[in-house]
Every structure is written in structure tokens, then in C-alpha cells.
């Protein structure tokens, strides 16, 4: 039978540190709550707290490495597809393959050449795209290049850029 012990300081009704959280009995009620549970040597510790903006940011950043990895893999995959497509086009231009062979290759091995857009692309992912693009200091990306490399739907890139500028530069 595992024991559960709460790290709740019942006297003050606040959970982790007074500096970071409002007391739970505070009736302004604008914050949610979080719970973290750990188990060690058959003892489970459960921590509950108020979900202040700083703690919420800390939790959402857990997801960032996963999103970053997904974006890097998408970019590498799309750039490789572009290279394969340009190699095929180059063969056609040098008349090493016929038009029929070119079309057949595209239709049969579509996954090797076709860049697909991600219809569920989110503003959080776009923030990461901008972070990545800003680190490549020798290159200035246009919206269609971002769309091609990171599978952002072509018709939505401008909307993402506008929302990013509003959020980070404060145009409105």
C-alpha cells in the first residue's frame, strides 16, 4: 500500500512558496491549479499549486523541445525532397530522361518529391520557426521559403507573421 503525503502547508494554505503563489483561499479565483506527482521507493509525493502565469510558462516550455525536434525534422525532410526534385529536373533539362519518364517518376514516387502542408500548424510552432530563422544570420527568409521548408500552409503564412508581429512587437 503506497502512502501519499502532501506537501501542503496547511497553516498558511499556500503550497510551494509564498513568493510565487497566491494563497489558495484567495477568492479572486483567476488562476487554475496544477498537480505534480512523483513516486520514489513506494512513496508517492503529490504537489498541488496555483497555476500562475510564470508556472504556466514553465509547464508549456516542457513541450518546446518536442515541437523544435518536429520542426527540425520537417525542415530536413522538405529540403531533401527539394534536392531530389531539382536533381530529377536537372536530368530532364540535360535530356538524360524523357518527359514521360519524368512524369512517371513524380507520380510513382510521390513521397520522395512532394512537400505537403501541415494543416494543423499552430502559432506556437510559428514562434519557434521565427526563433530558428533568426539564428540563421546569413539568410533572410521570404514567406514562401518558410512555407516550403517548414510545411506552413501557403495561404496562412502572412496571418502567422502578422500575429507574431502583434504579439512580439506590439503593433496594435
Partner 1 sequence: MALVYDNSSIECMDADISSRKIVRSSFMQIKNIGKCMVYKCSRNSEATVTVELNPKKAKHNANSSLDKDSTVKGENILVAINCMKSLKIYLTNKTGTHKAQNFSTGHYTYAQITKQIPSTPRLIPPLEIIPPPDEDEEKKQIE
111 forms part of the interface with partner 1 (CB under 8 A): no
- 3-class DSSP assignment, residue 25: coil
Interface with partner 1 in residues 28-67 (CB under 8 A) = none
Strand 3-6 and strand 43-51: pairing?
Answer: parallel
Q: Shortest approach of partner 1 to residue 134 CB, angstroms?
A: 20
Q: Tell me whether residue 46 or residue 75 sits nearer to partner 1 (CB atom).
A: 75
CA gap 133, 139 in Å, rounded: 8
Q: Which cell numbers hold the place of 46?
A: 503529490
CA gap 116, 119 in Å, rounded: 9
- Pick the stretch among 12-20, 39-47, 98-106, 163-171 that binds partner 1 (CB under 8 A): 98-106
Residues 6+ apart with CB under 8 A from 70: 125
Q: Tell me whether residue 20 or residue 167 sits nearer to partner 1 (CB atom).
A: 167
| Helix axes 99-108 and 64-93, enclosed angle (nearest 10) | 160
- Binder to partner 1 among 21, 49, 50, 113 (CB under 8 A)? 113
Question: Cα 159 vs. chain centroid, distance in angstroms?
Answer: 17
Q: Shortest approach of partner 1 to residue 69 CB, angstroms?
A: 23
- Binder to partner 1 among 158, 165, 166, 167 (CB under 8 A)? 158
102 forms part of the interface with partner 1 (CB under 8 A): yes
| Cβ neighbours of 16 (radius 10 Å) | 17
| Cβ neighbours of 160 (radius 10 Å) | 22
- Binder to partner 1 among 110, 163, 167, 168 (CB under 8 A)? 110
141 forms part of the interface with partner 1 (CB under 8 A): no
- Pick the stretch among 44-52, 56-64, 126-134, 149-157 that binds partner 1 (CB under 8 A): 149-157
CA gap 157, 170 in Å, rounded: 19
Binding site for partner 1 (CB under 8 A): 78, 81-82, 85-86, 89, 92-93, 99, 102-103, 106-107, 110, 113-117, 119, 142-144, 148, 153-155, 158
Amino acid at each position: 500500500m503506497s502512502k501519499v503525503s502532501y506537501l501542503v502547508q496547511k497553516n498558511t494554505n499556500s503550497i510551494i512558496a509564498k513568493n510565487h503563489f497566491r494563497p489558495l483561499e484567495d477568492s479572486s479565483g483567476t488562476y487554475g491549479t496544477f498537480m505534480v506527482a512523483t513516486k520514489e521507493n513506494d512513496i508517492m509525493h503529490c504537489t498541488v499549486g496555483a497555476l500562475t502565469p510564470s508556472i504556466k510558462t514553465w509547464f508549456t516550455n516542457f513541450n518546446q523541445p518536442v515541437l523544435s525536434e518536429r520542426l527540425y525534422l520537417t525542415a530536413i525532410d522538405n529540403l531533401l525532397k527539394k534536392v531530389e526534385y531539382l536533381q530529377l529536373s536537372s536530368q530532364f533539362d540535360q535530356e538524360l530522361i524523357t518527359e514521360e519518364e519524368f512524369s512517371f517518376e513524380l507520380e510513382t514516387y510521390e513521397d520522395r518529391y512532394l512537400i505537403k502542408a501541415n494543416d494543423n500548424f499552430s502559432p506556437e510552432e510559428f514562434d519557434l520557426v521565427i526563433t530558428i530563422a533568426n539564428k540563421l544570420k546569413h539568410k533572410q527568409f521570404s514567406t514562401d521559403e518558410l512555407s516550403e521548408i517548414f510545411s506552413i500552409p501557403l495561404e496562412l503564412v502572412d496571418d502567422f507573421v502578422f500575429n507574431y508581429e502583434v504579439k512580439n512587437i506590439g503593433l496594435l
